């Protein structure tokens, strides 16, 4: 089984992080498949603008647009809902149903963009996506979080992924952290910084 890998960033992958990302995947950029979850960033134009930057950055990295899947949790039926007039459908397109850990295994990475972390957490749990995503990450899917996407992966909110127990506070503008705390205290990430997880190893980039 592959080790889990995650980049929990404040504002996206730096050049150093991009190099680590490609090294970890071990494939040519134009063959890499990425799922992008923009759900946190659909409630304001500022957040939508961030989503546009995410897509542009991926393509600048050499990842083909045809290899990027946009998966908005708002389009997914709640996990406990019993379908009525659509019950006869046995093969719902992935964009409109809950993806499973097996579905996610066909991707190299998932990118969770920024925005409203409370809304993102609610949607991840309403749909059941949180548990499937956590399984996939533990099985080797590379996780890239930006701002809210990093917060939901850490210990910031109950119902998050819990990849680390520490809460993450992105876009930190006070004194810059140079080492991670020894306990479960908050991790303050300035723009350009990230928490990198590789297996059980956790380090500040």
- For 86-118, how does the pLDDT look when each residue is reduced to its tens digit (9 = 90+)? 888 888 888 888 999 999 999 999 999 988 999
24-70 pLDDT, tens digit each? 999 999 999 999 999 988 777 877 888 888 899 999 999 999 999 99
Residue 2 pLDDT: 58
Q: What is the pLDDT of residue 92?
A: 87
- What the chain holds in terms of domains, given with CATH numbers, is 5-78+88-204 (3.40.50.880)
What's the chain's length in residues?
205
CB-based contact 32:67 (threshold 8 Å): yes
SS3 151: helix
pLDDT at 1: 44
Sequence-ordered list of residues with C-beta below 8 angstroms from that of 102, at least 6 positions apart, any chain:
none
Q: What is the value of pTM for the model shown? A: 0.92
Question: What is the average pLDDT score of the chain?
Answer: 91
What gap in Å lies between CA 102 and CA 109, rounded to an integer?
13
pLDDT of residue 198: 92
Closest CA to 146 of 117, 191, 121, 114: 114
**pLDDT for the residue numbered 140:** 93
Instruction: Look at 7 and 92; give whichever has higher pLDDT.
Output: 7
7-28 burial string, b = 16+ CB within 10 Å, else e? bbbbbbbbeebbebbeebbeee
Contact 126, 79 (CB under 8 A): yes
User: Are β-strands 142-146 and 168-169 bridged in parallel, bridged antiparallel, or unpaired?
Assistant: unpaired
pLDDT, average across residues 159-167: 90
Q: What pLDDT is recorded for position 42?
A: 76
Residue 78 CB contacts under 8 Å (≥ 6 apart), including other chains: 126, 127
Scan for tokens 């533990």, then name that residue. 138
């Amino acid at each position: 089984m592959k080790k889990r890998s995650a980049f929990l960033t404040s504002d996206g992958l730096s050049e150093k992080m991009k190099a680590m990302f490609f090294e970890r995947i071990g494939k040519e950029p134009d063959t890499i498949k990425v799922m992008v979850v923009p759900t946190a960033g659909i409630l304001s134009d500022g957040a939508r603008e961030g989503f546009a930057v995410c897509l542009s950055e991926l393509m600048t990295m050499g990842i083909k647009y045809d290899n990027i899947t946009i998966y908005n949790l708002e389009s997914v039926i709640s996990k406990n809902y019993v379908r009525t007039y659509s019950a006869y459908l046995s093969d719902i397109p992935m964009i409109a149903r809950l993806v499973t850990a097996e579905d996610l295994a066909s991707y190299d990475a998932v990118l969770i963009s920024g925005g409203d972390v409370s809304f993102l957490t609610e949607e991840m749990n309403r749909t059941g996506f949180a548990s499937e995503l956590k399984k996939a990450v533990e099985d080797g899917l590379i996780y890239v979080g930006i701002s809210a996407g990093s917060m939901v992966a850490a210990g910031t909110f109950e119902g998050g992924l819990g990849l680390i127990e520490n809460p993450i506070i992105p876009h930190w503008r006070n004194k810059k952290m140079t080492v991670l705390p020894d306990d479960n205290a908050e991790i303050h990430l300035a723009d350009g910084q990230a928490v990198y997880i590789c297996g059980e190893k956790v380090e500040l980039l």
